[in-house]
């Protein structure tokens, strides 16, 4: 719902202060933001966050690193105290060798920048849609039995880096957060929500740090990365889009 233009400066300044959003991270004038959603899906300020040099993979989003875990010998993933079968978490990956892969969960709170970016130069091979519910994903509210990564509304991307390594990104909706947008496929993540699979031929290509899309309010992203990548941050630390999150890779191995 649009806010009257005359009320926007006071309304948005109060909200930003309450949530802890620094003013310098909100580009433009308060009057430019017509609604609550406009403010939460704001772009980065122009010229901010230049891409780093080197071969690190980047964080796809602002948020907090909540969990990092690997594939168990039994073939399941253990994330935030919850076991997930590979078929629940990574649809369409049957037959792929995923030993040594690491799953890293990033939680976006209401204060965070809500657009997501490519972690590396990459192609999107497939997208799977899960038309689930909208349970909360706030770590303080989630119980293991809720299995939100498999039961909430979600978009799963099967990707391939320029190095040829398969990796995966899972975008999970949350309470009051049903909308997701993807610039490479404008209908992906939009109503009506149905379980389904899309195969891209040719696959959309994105450069490292390129904007991929946005959540319409906060949520969570799960990245599943190959063994040669090493997480740079411990669980509980904040991460920022377009800044290094994973080191290593074939080009840095000696």
Query: Could you give the C-alpha distances from 154 to 8, 27, 41, 49, in angstroms and in order?
Result: 32, 29, 18, 28
Check if 201 is active-site. no
- Active-site entry in 114, 117, 128, 158: 117
Burial-class residue 2 by CB neighbours within 10 Å (0-12, 13-18, 19+).
Answer: exposed
Three-state DSSP at 79 gives strand
What Rg value do the Cα atoms of the chain yield, rounded?
A: 18
Q: Catalytic: which of 59, 161, 165, 219?
A: 219
Count of H-run helices and E-run strands, the chain:
4, 17
Tell me the H-state helices in the chain. 8-19, 36-40, 86-89, 148-151
Task: Tell me if residue 161 is catalytic.
Answer: no
Q: Which is the catalytic residue, given 62, 112, 114, 161?
A: 62
Q: Check if 117 is active-site.
A: yes
Q: Which residues are catalytic?
A: 62, 117, 219
């Amino acid at each position: 719902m649009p806010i009257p233009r005359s009320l926007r400066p006071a309304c948005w300044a109060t909200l930003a202060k309450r949530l802890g959003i620094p003013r310098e991270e909100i580009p433009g004038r308060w009057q430019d933001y017509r609604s609550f959603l406009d403010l939460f899906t704001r772009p980065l300020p122009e010229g901010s966050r230049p891409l780093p040099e080197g071969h690190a993979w980047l964080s796809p989003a602002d948020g907090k690193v909540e969990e990092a875990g690997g594939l168990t010998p039994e073939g399941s993933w253990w994330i935030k105290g919850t076991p997930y079968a590979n078929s629940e978490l990574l649809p369409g990956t049957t037959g792929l060798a995923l030993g040594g892969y690491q799953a890293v969960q990033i939680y976006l709170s209401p204060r965070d920048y809500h657009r997501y970016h490519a972690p590396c130069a990459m192609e999107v091979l497939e997208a799977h849609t899960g038309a689930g519910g909208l349970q909360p994903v706030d770590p303080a509210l989630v119980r293991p039995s809720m299995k939100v990564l498999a039961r909430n509304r979600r978009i799963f991307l099967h990707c391939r880096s320029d190095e040829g390594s398969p990796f995966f990104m899972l975008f999970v909706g949350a309470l009051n957060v049903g909308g997701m947008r993807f610039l490479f496929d404008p209908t992906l993540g939009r109503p009506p929500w149905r379980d389904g699979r899309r195969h891209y031929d040719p696959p959309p290509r994105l450069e490292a740090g390129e904007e991929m899309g946005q959540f319409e309010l906060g949520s969570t992203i799960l990245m599943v990365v190959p063994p040669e990548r090493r997480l740079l941050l411990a669980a509980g630390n904040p991460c920022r889009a377009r800044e290094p999150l994973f080191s290593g890779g074939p080009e840095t191995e000696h």
